[in-house]
Amino acid sequence: MSTPTPECNHRVYEVLIVSLVSVVAGLATGLLFTACGTSPLTAAGSGGAALAFCFTAGMSVVTYMKKER
C-alpha cells in the first residue's frame, strides 16, 4: 500500500517573501520620489503607501492562489 505524501503548509515563507518584495518596492518608490526632487516627507509617505499596497495586493494574490477548489 502506498502512503499519502505529506503536504507542508509554509505560510511563514509566503508572508516573508511578500514582505520583502513590499519593502523593496516601498524603498524604490521613496528613492524615485526623492530623485525627482520632492520633499522628504512626501517621498517617505509615498514609499509607505507603496509598501502597504504591495503587501496587501501580494497577500491577496497568495491567498487566491492557495485557495482549495
- What the block records as the C-alpha cell of 51 is 509598501
Residue found under cell 515563507:
13
pLDDT (tens digit, 9 = 90+) per residue, 19-63?
Answer: 999 999 999 999 999 999 999 999 999 999 999 999 999 999 999
Amino acid at 7: E
- What the block records as the C-alpha cell of 37 is 526632487
Cα gap 23→50, rounded to integer Å: 9
Whether residue 69 has pLDDT greater than 70: no
Burial category of 50 from C-beta neighbours within 10 Å (exposed 0-12, middle 13-18, buried 19 and up): buried
Q: What is the pLDDT of residue 50?
A: 97
